[in-house]
Structure 1
Amino acid sequence: MIAKYFDGFHMRFTTNDYTTNWMRLQVGIALGCTISPILFVLAIQVILKAAGNNVSPTKLGEVCEMSPLKAYTILTSNEADTRELLSIMDEMMVWSRMTFKPKKSRSLSLRKGKAHEDICFSVGGQKIPTVSEEPIKSLGRWYDYTLKDSNQVKATIKTVDESLKTIGRCPLQGKYKLWCLQHMIIPILLWPLLIYEVTMSTVEAIEAKINRYTRKWLRLPPGLSNVALYSKQSKLKLPLKSIAEEFKAGKVRFQMMLDNSNDTVVKRVQPSLKTGRNWKVRDAIKKT
């Protein structure tokens, strides 16, 4: 049935000026086709599995092992295995009439816990950029050569400052500026605070800036306590979110998700989120 479906698969394109002739589709995934993505995933998994069997598993510490290919990430313990694996995958992709896009990929070589910039890899005759040359974003998280989150935390603080100043310059009433802050800026801000290693003191500094603008837009006294802004038990409740409380709740959910994960590697590593000395996730979970 599938063979008949793809036999004689023709398509054409239409623009405002002209319409192309019918052409047979030989390579690629047709837009709107429900079968092509499934077949592509099945085929790429076979290719990755065949290539991964030629390289031994990589040891992560004393108790963990990981397949060289997982989630389309090549993970090997030495340079020779990486080059051999890329060569095998390149041959298989040519055989299947598919090609890699090295510009969308990144390579990272570690020696003694530090990034090594002299080692470069290539596939399909094109060089794969290193993380030192071009940082990469995966699942909303940026990775650079430092392998630390300090640069991203600084970028997040800068984004908060610029966003507050931009909203402040808008010719809107204070309550509408506050609405933009609560429903546009804070939801976007919570994601980087969740995935990066941000200390509680940094979050408190960000909240202090937000509170200063909040009092200004609501025309409240500068010395008004934060309890008056975020209290849920007082008679006069303001519909405001505390960035510090949202940060704590997000970190606790994240830590519990890691603790209850079914992934064998996560269970063995038992990761613990770092939030500085002022507040720790583990202590908050024990108290609850």
Structure 2
Amino acid sequence: MDDLTVTTESVISARYVLRSLSKAASWARMKFKAKKCRKLVMRRGKICDKLQLEVQGERIPAIAEQPIKSLGKKFDVTLSDKKNIEEFKQQIRDGLEAIENSELPGRYKVWCYQYGLLPRAVWPMTMYDIPLTVVEEVERRVSRHLRKWLGVPPGLTSIGLYSKTAKLQLPLTSMEEEYKVTKARAQLMLQESRDELVSQAGIRLRSGKKWAAAEAVASATSRLKHRDIVGVVAQGRRGFGAGREGTQRWGTASPRERRELIQKEVRQQEEEVRRSRAVSQGVQGAWTRWEGVRERKVMWNELMYSEPLKIRFLLKSVYDLLPTAANLKRWRKKDEDKCELCGKTGNLSHVLTSCPVALGKGRYTWRHNQVLKVIASAVEEQITENKVKGKQRKGLQFISFVKEGWRGKSKEKKEREQIGIIASASDWSLHADLGKQLAFPADIIDTNLGPDLILFSRKTTQVVLLELTVPWEDRMEEANERKRMKYQELVSRCREKGWKTWYFPVEVGCRGFIGQTLWKALGQLGLAGKKRREVTKRVTKTTVDASLWVWTLRNTTQ
């Protein structure tokens, strides 16, 4: 601001304007509220408080005495955001301290942060010129509390807390990510303002030297335009153009949709940074090398109502933070890294899948059978449901009435619900390798091999073989190839005998991660939609519970 010289004429003019306003207010039978006004007088770049202004006998306070708040933003005598930034940091500290001092369990404290403290921090981050370094400092403080409330060690990477593309995803949002999204949204509001004086002013929000909102918006816009040129890239075995439906293009988007696309792109860029950092982490970034493993999202319902011990075990096992012998040696709390049962290197993979003593005690077999029970029970329920539907189809046909304004199921959707191997026959027999060794039906073929689950129909000469493996997640592809080669000859012999044969080698990671093979197998059998999701949730829960039991007995010979 330029130096302002206060002269006698200017003082007289100011008093004249105030008297005029006072008279106008009295004429309009209105009262001029001096307490809602502020005065600021500067002389040669310095604040001058010698001039006192009054209206109707009331003194107008100086902005140095009482800062003013306009549109949610505070203005003090310095006309800078230094004090506001300190208040923002203090607001976060007070909020975390209030949550910490509450008598709530840790998982409820996490919820209070996500839906109580974080939304309150969004507005100050939008209005004030807070640099990114300050937000990073605040997020480090927040992450320390989140780790404490979740019961995980301080060494857990922040990627495990906030990543949305990790194999294990928590329902938490990064404050740094929200800061960048809010700044990008504010920048877009200025650039696309209907007022030409605002939109053409070239306003650039201040966010420090490390990151600039205007550059982030320009980069996101460029990427979206380039994506329109490239089109939808084919992934996996899907054909050209697959996935094009439902995708919003930049060229055809409305202004509001473009703002949403840019905000989504800013989030995606932030996630790419996390992903690149995770790849460089040898231990806690091991999940980036998992092949054929489906992502697992921990929802609030599971986080709130599950036992805290199981949640802690899940997080520590995924990021290898459990106190194994190998980790204790790496943390310099133990001299040797040997397993107490067999003497081999006692890392987490050895404890959960490879210890010969635990294998001899039947711990891995017990876990395998617990998971197999869930799968076999789901298949049996589907067989029973299919038989009931078959009887209903043979009997009377009833009309399905639909409420006004509702949409009934289309014919294609009804037919899609009946698609699957199980729906192709009504005399399925299910045999599972539980309790005693499973013998392959002699009328199909004579063999000593016995898959974990056999499903056959003599009327339609169909047989389904399912072989379950519960390996270490890094070795799921290897386990699939090994089991596929083991039963390849059996499948060929069944087909030579005239039986239509399906063989599904499926994997479930020892830490509860579903293999893509199991997901596809359930779909081909006829379990789809909500039913398939419920089955995989039960499989995941059962596997984690069983692995927790295996971990608890890691140093015992019982």
When normalised by structure 2's length, the TM-score is 0.37
Question: Which runs of 5 or more structure 2 residues have no equivalent in the other structure?
Answer: 3-9, 221-558
Within 5 Å, give how 1:40-119 maps onto structure 2: 79-111=11-43, 114-119=46-51
Structure 2 Cα separation of the partners of residues 202 and 261 of structure 1: 29
* SS state at 1:106 partner: coil
1:220-276 residue CA offsets vs partner (Å, 9 max, x unmatched): 121111111111112321111110000000001101111122334424543211111
Q: Report if the CA contact (8 A) 2:109-2:149 is conserved.
A: yes
Within 5 Å, give how 1:179-218 maps onto structure 2: 179-218=111-150
Q: Report if the CA contact (8 A) 1:102-1:122 is conserved.
A: yes
Give yes or no for the alignment of 1:170 onto 2:106.
no
> Per the alignment, do residues 145 and 209 of structure 1 end up closer, same or farther by CA in structure 2, a change over 3 Å counting?
same
Q: Which amino acid aligns with 2:32?
A: F
Q: Report if the CA contact (8 A) 2:132-2:207 is conserved.
A: yes
* SS state at 1:256 partner: helix
- The number of equivalent residue pairs is 213
**Which of 206, 219, 228 pairs up with 2:160?**
228
* SS state at 2:54 partner: strand
When normalised by structure 1's length, the TM-score is 0.69
Q: Which amino acid aligns with 1:236?
A: L
* SS state at 1:172 partner: coil
> Per the alignment, do residues 254 and 111 of structure 1 end up closer, same or farther by CA in structure 2, a change over 3 Å counting?
farther
Structure 1 Cα separation of the partners of residues 118 and 11 of structure 2: 43
Q: Which amino acid aligns with 1:91?
A: K
Measured on the aligned residues, the alpha-carbon RMSD in Å equals 2.0
* Identical amino acids, percent of aligned pairs: 37
1:155-203 residue CA offsets vs partner (Å, 9 max, x unmatched): 1111211211111111111110011111011111111111111000000
Structure 1 Cα separation of the partners of residues 114 and 107 of structure 2: 10
> Per the alignment, do residues 283 and 178 of structure 1 end up closer, same or farther by CA in structure 2, a change over 3 Å counting?
same
Structure 2 Cα separation of the partners of residues 190 and 81 of structure 1: 43
Q: Report if the CA contact (8 A) 1:117-1:132 is conserved.
A: no
Give yes or no for the alignment of 1:146 onto 2:97.
no
> Per the alignment, do residues 104 and 266 of structure 1 end up closer, same or farther by CA in structure 2, a change over 3 Å counting?
same
> Per the alignment, do residues 113 and 253 of structure 1 end up closer, same or farther by CA in structure 2, a change over 3 Å counting?
farther
Within 5 Å, give how 1:16-27 maps onto structure 2: none
Structure 1 Cα separation of the partners of residues 198 and 208 of structure 2: 22
Q: Which amino acid aligns with 2:63?
A: V
> How much has 1:103 moved relative to structure 2?
1.4
Q: Which amino acid aligns with 2:27?
A: W
Map of 1:256 onto structure 2: 188
Structure 1 Cα separation of the partners of residues 14 and 191 of structure 2: 32
Structure 2 Cα separation of the partners of residues 258 and 110 of structure 1: 30
Question: Which runs of 5 or more structure 1 residues have no equivalent in the other structure?
Answer: 1-59, 62-77
Q: Which protein has the larger Cα radius of gyration, Structure 1 or Structure 2?
A: 2
> How much has 1:83 moved relative to structure 2?
3.0
